[in-house]
Amino acid sequence: MKSFSGSKSLIAILIGLFILAAAGCSAENSQADPEKEEKDKKVSMIFSFKSPNMDPHTGFTPIRAGVTETLLKLDENSKIEGWLAEKWETEDNVNWTFTIRDEVKFQDGKKLDAAAVKASLERSAAVNESLGDSLKIQSMEADGQTLSITTTEPYPALPSELVNPYTSIVNTEAEKEMGEEEFNNAPVGTGPFKVKTFISNQEVQLEKFSGYWAGEPKVNEAVIKFNEDANVRSLAFQSKEADVVYNIPAEGIESIEKDKELKVESVPGLRAHFILYNQQSPKVSDVKVREALDLLLDRKSAAEDIMLGHGIPANGPFNSTLPFGIKDEVKAVNVDKAKELLAEAGYKENGQGKMEKDGQPLKLELITYKARPELPLIAQLLQSDAAKAGIDIEIKNVENADTHLVENKDWDLATYSNNTSPRGDGSYFLNTAFTETGALNAGKISIPELNELIKELNTTTDLDKRTQLTRDAAGIINKEFAHSYAVYPNILVGVNKRVQNFNPTAEEYYILTHTMDVK
């Protein structure tokens, strides 16, 4: 027994020595391996809008995910600069010459030349009809690295249109080899990241493109998830499931920033939140009804109580701080004046505080969506103040506002949000939101005076003249109450401090870049 006990002691000592040795090995192995850390660099993001596919000619996700690039882009001051095209020139605003960078390759190794750019632009115009209308291209010729474009009319806004993410350059030859469906989920672009896997409306996984022309990306992999629920996005950021999260709700910022590893960037943007009126609806086709609703929109409360100061009250389509923004005073809520306008439109109170016309109450359907968390709150704000004037507003939340507004005609108004000056110029928004063929004209707005002014703007070269025409257009929009602008919101982006070399920008286009890094 005694010898057995001694054996037990010896075994215990040996086990102890083994554990210590193992611990030492473990500690040694746990020390930072720089090479391994470089290979493991990964960033995770959440965007607020779903992406049914990755076709860059119908959606913005590919350019935001660093998969595709355009001929021209915006710099940090929203000025146009070269990207895939290193320079461009024209003498008459009809005949244009673009010099394509010589060192660029697609993600499958094919060289980027003018012929590939021409084929890609032809595809974009065929896939996206409204883009074809806005480009106004009559013909294109490719010669080596030189692309010549002739427009259907003098068109000084062409460079601005070529900043549009829908003009992203892809390898159309790859589409022929892969097939349309596969290509739409994994397009072959020139950007720093290529698609690894894509799950419709859920996520896209990306890996770096080591042959990227501007330098090897710092991050090896990235995953971008899509979630339209602001609270879910916020919680995912707080739990560190995601490093970068777009459209954080303003009311969640204080709680988030209690964590020293997290921050929320509040970036003055080029966007406007507004009320969109459906001109096909007989209830709001009367300008006096629209003016009444305009007077019931509490812009100050939208900026201070909903955006919590991360935005400023709006006075028109373009941010009043921009050169072409108008300087009109921001309208205050005026219930009495709204009632007067409704009376002029033929409505009268029914004795129960409701406005009626021909025995029918003024009841409106307002469409909203939760991908931008402040929009449903703006809808509720308008609903509350409209009730004071006898207007009954029924709020309807939809998953995809763009699809709903286009496919249905029985809605009356909607909360909406657009980047109204994404290229340092108002022509894009004016052409897409107010012309007959405009992709953003879900309300079927048609104002002859405005149409003529937009045509003049499209052919005007002089910058001062363009600025004045844009202001004049904003004046017409306000006079006709085509939209009611509520607030110019800041972009609220949650950023984990492990993310380096990333600054959210006003245009909201360039998010995942080759310079982004993580600790």
Please measure the distance between the N-terminal and C-terminal CA atoms of the chain and give it in whole angstroms: 59
Confidence of residue 461 (pLDDT cuts 50, 70, 90): confident
**Interval 424-437: pLDDT, tens:** 789 989 999 999 88
Q: Which of 2-6, 200-204, 419-423 has the lowest mean pLDDT?
A: 2-6
| Beta-ladder partners of 360 | 357
Within a domain: 169: yes
Domain end residue (candidates: 144, 174, 204): 174
Q: How far is CA 167 from CA 110, 160, 193, 396, in A?
A: 19, 11, 18, 34
pTM: 0.86
Domain end residue (candidates: 150, 174, 198): 174
Kindly give the pairing relationship between strand 221-226 and strand 363-368: unpaired
Within a domain: 474: yes
pLDDT of residue 33: 59
Question: How many structural domains compose the chain?
Answer: 3
Query: Would the pLDDT of 109 be above 80?
Result: yes
Going by the DSSP 8-state scheme, the letter that residue 380 receives in this structure is H
The position carrying tokens 């090897």 is 216
**Interval 257-271: pLDDT, tens:** 999 999 999 999 899
Task: Look at 230 and 28; give whichever has higher pLDDT.
Answer: 230
Confidence of residue 31 (pLDDT cuts 50, 70, 90): low
Within a domain: 470: yes
pLDDT of residue 129: 86
Whether residue 278 sits in one domain with residue 264: no
Distance of alpha carbon 163 from the chain centroid: 14
Task: Provide the residue range defining the domain that includes 365.
Answer: 271-489
The position carrying tokens 């009730």 is 387
Query: For residues 471 and 180, what is the distance between their CA atoms, to the nearest angstrom?
Result: 43
Within a domain: 17: no
Whether residue 353 sits in one domain with residue 216: no
Contact 54, 183 (CB under 8 A): no
Whether residue 411 sits in one domain with residue 279: yes
Going by the DSSP 8-state scheme, the letter that residue 515 receives in this structure is T
Domain end residue (candidates: 174, 201, 233): 174
**Interval 490-517: pLDDT, tens:** 999 999 999 999 999 999 999 999 999 9
Within a domain: 40: no
Whether residue 464 sits in one domain with residue 372: yes
Residue 442: which of 476, 417, 491, 406 has the closest Cα? 406
Within a domain: 35: no
Whether residue 170 sits in one domain with residue 251: no
Whether residue 185 sits in one domain with residue 168: no
Confidence of residue 28 (pLDDT cuts 50, 70, 90): very low
Query: Would the pLDDT of 23 be above 70?
Result: no
